[in-house]
Structures are given as C-alpha cells and as structure tokens.
C-alpha cells in the first residue's frame, strides 16, 4: 500500500466537517488498510459560497457556490474524494465528476 494518504475534500464548516469525518470513519471500517495512521486526510476547502457574506447567495449564482472549488480540487488532483451536502450539488455535474 502507498504512503500517500487518500484525501477527502470538504468545506470548512461544522456540518461539512462532521460529514467528512463520518465518511472517513466508514471508509476505515470498510477497508481495514485505511485504518492505519495517515492513510486518510481531511482537506478543508473554502468555497465561494463561504466567502459571500454581504449579499444573498441567489444574487451571486445559486447552485455550485459551495461545490465548485472542491470539485476543481478533485479534478486537479488535490483531493481524491469530495464530500458535499446533496442540496448544494448542481443538477448538471462538471465533466469528470461522478456520484
């Protein structure tokens, strides 16, 4: 097994982090080789939706505001798995992204 950790990308928000840690724990339970220290890494990503504090999100663009930077990190190889809340996932996924 490689020493490179499997990187789980998520938003830097309490609910998103809880979901990412739950995903990590389930992966460890399902795949014992991932239970070793350093096998899994949580990568916190700030999204455009997290940065918009001065106006309604609908004014900025709606869907994708909380997922684009995370999806981009996965497409660029910065993370291996993305954890999203389904309510934030656009109806049409970017090329190269599958559920």
* Phi-psi category of residue 31: left, alpha or beta, with phi > 0 → left and psi -120 to 50 → alpha: beta
Q: Within a 13 Å sphere around the CA of 77, how many CA atoms are in the beta-carbon half? A: 1
- Pick the catalytic residue from 50, 72, 80, 88: 88
Residue 88 among the catalytic residues: yes
The answer to whether 72 and 51 have CB atoms below 8 angstroms apart is no
Largest CA distance in the chain: 47
What burial class does residue 29 get, using C-beta atoms within 10 Å of its C-beta: 0-12 exposed, 13-18 middle, 19+ buried?
A: exposed
Catalytic residues: 88
């Amino acid at each position: 097994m490689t020493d490179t950790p499997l990187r789980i990308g998520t938003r830097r928000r309490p609910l998103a982090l809880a979901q990412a840690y739950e995903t990590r724990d389930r992966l460890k339970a399902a795949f014992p080789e991932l239970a070793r220290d350093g096998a899994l890494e949580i990568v916190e990503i700030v999204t455009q939706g997290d940065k918009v504090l001065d106006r309604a999100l609908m004014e900025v663009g709606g869907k994708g505001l909380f997922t684009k930077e995370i999806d981009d990190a996965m497409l660029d190889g910065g993370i291996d798995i993305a954890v999203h809340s389904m309510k934030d996932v656009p109806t049409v996924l970017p090329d190269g992204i599958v559920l």
